[in-house]
Amino acid sequence: MRDDCIFCRIVRQEAHGDIVYQDEEITAFRDINPKAPVHILIVPNRHIPGVFALQPGDESVVGRLFLVARQLAEQEGIAQSGYRLVLNSGPQGGQSVYHLHLHLLGGRPMRWPPG
């Protein structure tokens, strides 16, 4: 846990976050600047800076990010219409918060490729 990391602070509920799911390993909350009608960030509770920092042993928590995404897509009513999962890594990947997070985006058609 990093005191200077906004997502660590949301996980610990020290900073406000619209949390839609939480367990001992994973937290999911609505993006503060949504790019789609449904825009949820799914994060490991443990501070992992990004994909570039993943280690052997992290397979389970990474897999669970996707399982929680699938469950939330069903809860949000976008499982049938479809949705996009995005994971940005590093400066040119568009990562702005250096705590690993999976974006769940849906509720409108998604363009490809992204801008």
- Asked if residues 66 and 85 have their Cβ atoms less than 8 Å apart, the reply is yes
Residue 60 or 96 with smaller CB distance to ligand 5GP: 96
27 binds ligand 5GP (CB under 6 A): no
Query: How many residues touch Zn ion (CB under 5 A)?
Result: 6
Helices (H), 17-98: 59-75
47 makes contact, choosing from Zn ion, ligand 5GP, none, with CB < 5 to 8 Å by partner type, with Zn ion
Instruction: Kindly tell me which of 10 and 104 has the beta carbon lying closer to Zn ion.
Output: 10
| Cα dihedral across residues 88, 90, 92, 96: positive or negative | positive
CB count, 10 Å around CB of 69?
20
Q: Determine if 7 is a binding residue for Zn ion (CB under 5 A).
A: yes
Where on the chain is the footprint of ligand 5GP (CB under 6 A)?
Answer: 6, 17, 29, 31-33, 41, 88, 94-97
